[in-house]
Structure 1
Amino acid sequence: MSMTMNGTQLPDLTDPHTFVPGVPHEGFARIRELPGLHWQPTEVGTANGGFWAVTRFADILEVESNPALFSSQPGSAWPMSNLPIDPVLNPAYNNLMFMDPPRHSSVRRVAAAAFGPRVVKNFDPWVREIVVEILDHIETLTEFDYVLEVARTIPSYVIARVQGVPREDRQWIVDQTLAAFEGQNAGDLGVVTKVLEDTFTYYREKLVPGKLKNPEDDMTSVLIHAAERGEITEAEAYDFLNLLQAAGFETTHTLIGQSMRLILEDPDIADKTYRGIRELGADKVTEELLRIITPAMFMSRTATADTELAGQTIRKGDLLNLYFIAANRDPAVFDRPDEFDPWRTETASLTFGSGAHRCIGNALAKLELRILFEEMARRDFRLTLNGTPERGWSTFINQIRSLPVAHVDGRAA
């Protein structure tokens, strides 16, 4: 769970046990203060026996601004890294996160036309319908698991609606997503490949044929018809659907679950959240929760040539893990970085990355949490812990698997 480097105790960033008690923020702070970059040894998913932990805000911006020098193609998230840049041997070859410009730019352009912030604004009415339906349901319960009933359900319904997935297939899609994340966390390429094959079979045999015959206002229709026009390949369209399914679900699921955990465990955060919604609106509160939580804790890049970063010599083939969760608490950027403060003036964060790979679905994640907070505030919806929260075993996602709660006013009683 930890290692000693030059007399300094540092967390082992390759060990899921390190993250089970919580994110090792003190360890990240020690790494940030070291000169150069911290080398984390591991034989898994690397060409050179380890990876560089990049934890400072400015250093991550520099890496993400130069995709030609720091590539996503060999793998965008360790340990699914050091993969062959080959369409046959690499199961993620057509995944947007595993692309560099200019190929990345063409696929992203098609998706962004149907998924940009101005378009997502129009999602408000039907996302609100989903949230209201879920809140109506849990008001009938005395006690429940917030992750199961709320944090998983909202994004799974929303992403299925964006994709155009029939309601009866939603749970299967969610199960596939969770299985892929388990495989990725374990570094099991076989599991990930099997999940991708099954998911793409579903797209080819059930979802896509219907959209070709009867296009609808959804992402599948947009992508598959773009492929018909030759703007992107069919494989790229399918892979973006899978990316939307995985990233859109897991990130928002974590954000919603961890937000409520913070509110229930910390009275100061609870007070600032409710007061912030009243005084600032839910958007500002959401932005600060995103900074504090940082659902996807890092992304990976591979050096394409010998270079230097932060005074550190980087070899060709070296893997760099960009720890957004550490950079979002960088005191060089944020005043009182460990404090939850929706009123802070430093609003930029790296929760969704930066540069060419800034998360295309960030507006939708923000919309879902904002609407949830607005609807809960409208109902004066208050919960209390009803057991011990369970974190996930993940070096990648700031995961929460279970959050047992009960209504403060015992509504179902």
Structure 2
Amino acid sequence: MTVVNEASIDLPDFSDPATFADQVPHEAFDQVRSMSGLYWQPTEYGTLREGFWLATRFADIVAVEAKSQEVTCKQGFNFPLNILSESPEQAEFNSHMLMRKDPPDHGRMRRVAAAAFGPRVVARFDGWIRDIVNEALDSALAKPEFDWVVEVGKYIPSRVVARVLGVADDRIEDVVDWTDAVFAVSSEADAGAKQSEAAQALYMYCAELQQAKLRAPDDDVATALAQAVERGDLNDTEFLTFIGLLLVAGYETTHTLINHSMRLIVENDEIRKYAGDALEEGTVDRLVDEFLRYITPAMNMARIATTDFEIAGTTIRKDDMIQLMFVAANRDPAVFSRPHEFDPHRPETATLTFGSGPHRCLGSALAKLELRILFEQLAERGVKLELNGEPKRGWSAWINQLHSLPVRVV
């Protein structure tokens, strides 16, 4: 297939993690978004057709995600496609993962756990999440300088997701290590093999967790899913992949959100003022929504065409990959006024940070609550931090990672 892109001579390679090493390439996304149709990115690995279509407009992404018959996640949901490097045994195992399911099977699995992550249920977590946030701040702020990512960004979401799922305290650091290993290699050509290796230990622990929850049930998601297996609503492999997904995704997205939010605050006085004003005015939820839009922790997801169809005037062929660039759509001027400005007072509040359609993220309410409580507790302590060194971004074309944020208390 030969695809000619208009005015693309100065565009970077969107399949290369180096393109995202210093910052998200928003100027390049602006150029792509201004083109007619979708943009074709050639690549030598990771797809079925030596390249993928880049969807950067809000409406185009919503339209693709609504096409439950024309696109699939079964072959993978991010670039590079895992299925290209999986053994037959690995492919069979991973086919039971929620993110690799299409409707209606996806809905069957999702309904088993969805109730545990609804806004009304999550609101009842406020007290014990506040305790976890204060534990992190007590430890971090006792030091005159520290790495925000290590002391706060990792601590809070790892303890929260562990509590929700029922992970023992002495295994939390293992979960963090496994998750970091998975996402550290997520954009390499041989990512599938490395991710599988990193995930193996995680799934072994999930199997232990399943048996432990059947022996001693508790009020947590792992118990609910283990009992769903006993009822026949899930099979054993679906349990393992579901718990593994919730552990990894529940940690990484919020981890990235917490890290970049503080980076924006310590680097930008206007954003620091916005944060302070929101706390005084009681509009922290709007502030959190704007951080989510502006940062977009999971920058993209992918879909594979199951048949030929047209989107935005572009003919998509069977087996084509469409890269849904949420991070670009959240800066779409057709939806957001002054899209590159941080403005928690903006009237446009619907974003694609958590996706749309049947695959919209289960944990959105939990991530928002964690960041809101963190801001509230920082304000209660009257804490001000400033940058104390060079922040270090991750090496990923998928997750908007921040690996280090040195700060000092002032």
- Which TM-score applies when normalising by structure 2? 0.96
Change (3 A) 1:316 1:7: closer
1:56-67 matches, cutoff 5 A: 56-67=57-68
Structure 1 counterpart of 2:63, one-letter code: E
Residue 40 of structure 2: aligned partner: 39
Structure 2 counterpart of 1:40, one-letter code: Q
Structure 2 counterpart of 1:322, one-letter code: L
> Pick from 237, 240, 243: which aligns with 1:241?
243
Measure, in 1, the Cα distance between the counterparts of 2:389 and 2:228: 49
- Alignment: residue pair count: 405
Structure 2 counterpart of 1:400, one-letter code: L
Deviates more, 1:64-73 or 1:33-42: 64-73
Q: Any idea what SS the aligned residue of 2:245 has?
A: helix
Residue 278 of structure 1: aligned partner: 280
1:241-390 matches, cutoff 5 A: 241-390=243-392
User: Residues 224 and 237 of structure 1 are in contact (CA less than 8 Å); yes or no, is this contact kept in structure 2?
Assistant: yes
Measure, in 2, the Cα distance between the counterparts of 1:64 and 1:82: 21
Q: Any idea what SS the aligned residue of 2:307 has?
A: coil
Q: Any idea what SS the aligned residue of 1:185 has?
A: coil
Q: Any idea what SS the aligned residue of 2:29 has?
A: helix
Measure, in 2, the Cα distance between the counterparts of 1:225 and 1:91: 20
- Residue 360 of structure 1: how far off its partner (Å): 0.3
Report % sequence identity: 50
Measure, in 2, the Cα distance between the counterparts of 1:177 and 1:336: 35
Measure, in 1, the Cα distance between the counterparts of 2:279 and 2:339: 21
Residue 411 of structure 1: aligned partner: none
1:279-308 Cα offsets, whole Å, 9 max, x none, are 242111000000000000000000100111
Q: Any idea what SS the aligned residue of 1:114 has?
A: helix
Tell me, yes or no, if structure 1 residue 101 matches structure 2 residue 112.
Answer: no
Structure 1 counterpart of 2:122, one-letter code: V
Residue 190 of structure 1: aligned partner: 193
Residue 203 of structure 1: aligned partner: 206
- Residue 91 of structure 1: how far off its partner (Å): 4.4
Residue 398 of structure 1: aligned partner: 400
- Residue 270 of structure 1: how far off its partner (Å): 1.0
The runs of 5 or more residues in structure 1 that have no matched partner are 409-413
1:170-207 Cα offsets, whole Å, 9 max, x none, are 10111011111123222422222222222121222x32
- Residue 86 of structure 1: how far off its partner (Å): 7.2
1:145-186 Cα offsets, whole Å, 9 max, x none, are 000000011011111111211111110111011111123222
Q: Any idea what SS the aligned residue of 1:384 has?
A: strand
User: Residues 80 and 184 of structure 1 are in contact (CA less than 8 Å); yes or no, is this contact kept in structure 2?
Assistant: no
Change (3 A) 1:191 1:180: same
User: Residues 186 and 396 of structure 2 are in contact (CA less than 8 Å); yes or no, is this contact kept in structure 1?
Assistant: no
Measure, in 1, the Cα distance between the counterparts of 2:187 and 2:409: 34
User: Residues 91 and 193 of structure 1 are in contact (CA less than 8 Å); yes or no, is this contact kept in structure 2?
Assistant: no
Measure, in 1, the Cα distance between the counterparts of 2:327 and 2:309: 25
Measure, in 2, the Cα distance between the counterparts of 1:392 and 1:199: 22
Structure 1 counterpart of 2:384, one-letter code: R
Change (3 A) 1:85 1:116: farther
1:109-258 matches, cutoff 5 A: 109-186=111-188, 187-204=190-207, 206-258=208-260
User: Residues 155 and 253 of structure 1 are in contact (CA less than 8 Å); yes or no, is this contact kept in structure 2?
Assistant: yes
Q: Any idea what SS the aligned residue of 1:337 has?
A: coil
User: Residues 82 and 192 of structure 2 are in contact (CA less than 8 Å); yes or no, is this contact kept in structure 1?
Assistant: no
User: Residues 146 and 405 of structure 1 are in contact (CA less than 8 Å); yes or no, is this contact kept in structure 2?
Assistant: yes
Measure, in 2, the Cα distance between the counterparts of 1:406 and 1:297: 29
Q: Any idea what SS the aligned residue of 1:11 has?
A: coil
- Residue 346 of structure 1: how far off its partner (Å): 0.5
Change (3 A) 1:314 1:166: same
User: Residues 159 and 245 of structure 1 are in contact (CA less than 8 Å); yes or no, is this contact kept in structure 2?
Assistant: yes
Structure 2 counterpart of 1:50, one-letter code: G
- Residue 81 of structure 1: how far off its partner (Å): 4.7
Deviates more, 1:107-116 or 1:90-99: 90-99
Measure, in 2, the Cα distance between the counterparts of 1:380 and 1:253: 23
Measure, in 2, the Cα distance between the counterparts of 1:87 and 1:346: 45
- Which TM-score applies when normalising by structure 1? 0.95
User: Residues 354 and 364 of structure 2 are in contact (CA less than 8 Å); yes or no, is this contact kept in structure 1?
Assistant: yes
Residue 51 of structure 1: aligned partner: 52
Measure, in 1, the Cα distance between the counterparts of 2:369 and 2:238: 26
User: Residues 39 and 51 of structure 1 are in contact (CA less than 8 Å); yes or no, is this contact kept in structure 2?
Assistant: yes
- Residue 88 of structure 1: how far off its partner (Å): 5.4
User: Residues 388 and 407 of structure 2 are in contact (CA less than 8 Å); yes or no, is this contact kept in structure 1?
Assistant: yes
Residue 19 of structure 1: aligned partner: 20
Q: Any idea what SS the aligned residue of 1:40 has?
A: strand
Q: Any idea what SS the aligned residue of 1:322 has?
A: strand
Residue 80 of structure 1: aligned partner: 81
Residue 6 of structure 1: aligned partner: 7
Structure 1 counterpart of 2:121, one-letter code: V
Structure 2 counterpart of 1:362, one-letter code: S
Measure, in 1, the Cα distance between the counterparts of 2:203 and 2:399: 24
User: Residues 110 and 223 of structure 1 are in contact (CA less than 8 Å); yes or no, is this contact kept in structure 2?
Assistant: yes
- Residue 114 of structure 1: how far off its partner (Å): 1.7
